[in-house]
Amino acid sequence: MSKIISLVCGIIFGIGLTVSEMIDPAKVLGFLNIFRDWDPSLAFVMIGALIISSPFFHLFKNNKKPIFAKSFNYTTNKEINKKLIIGSSLFGAGWGLAGLCPGPAIASLALLNINSAVFVVAVFVGFYLAKLSEPTTHAR
């Protein structure tokens, strides 16, 4: 059953990116272009996602186990350190350069866009390089 949930969640997430138009880098760059012509839409995407998800996190966090898995499996890392800031800064620079982050980039492969494909390949190379340089990195 967990397999079906994984597929369905991917599909819903992909439709959400399409409906919200975040699949289009122009919308994301519009959000980051706060000092000129600002498109605040991305903030509303986050508000929509947080309004739905946040109550459930707090309702279910004391449950012993999820419905289709043996146990909850997510990071409890609370560390605020140089790695967090440096990594997030590098990510922010790449995000601002292309207007793409991993979700929309992968989803936009559906449109057979060669530019998205180039970006996604580079992201995976980046994942691999990060893994090589630090095998103990805990992935979220």
Partner 1 sequence: MNIINFTPVPAFLGGALIGLAVVLFFVFNGRLIGISGIASNFLTSKNNRFDNFLFIAGLIIGPILYKFFSSQEINISISNSFFLLSVAGLLVGVGTRIGGGCTSGHGISGMGRFSLRSIIATITFMIVGILTVLVKNLV
Interacting residues with partner 1 between 61 and 90 (CB under 8 A)? 61, 65-75, 77-80, 83-90
Among positions 109-128, residues that touch partner 1 (CB under 8 A) are 109-111, 113, 115-116, 118-128
Q: Does 57 bind partner 1 (CB under 8 A)?
A: yes
CA distance 62 to 97: 40
CA distance 8 to 12: 6
Q: Does 136 bind partner 1 (CB under 8 A)?
A: no
Q: Does 26 bind partner 1 (CB under 8 A)?
A: yes
Cα three-residue angle 62-64-67, rounded to 5 degrees: 110
Nearest approach in angstroms of CB 19 to partner 1 is 4
Which residues have a Cβ under 8 Å from the Cβ of 30 and sit 6 or more positions away? 37, 38, 39, 41
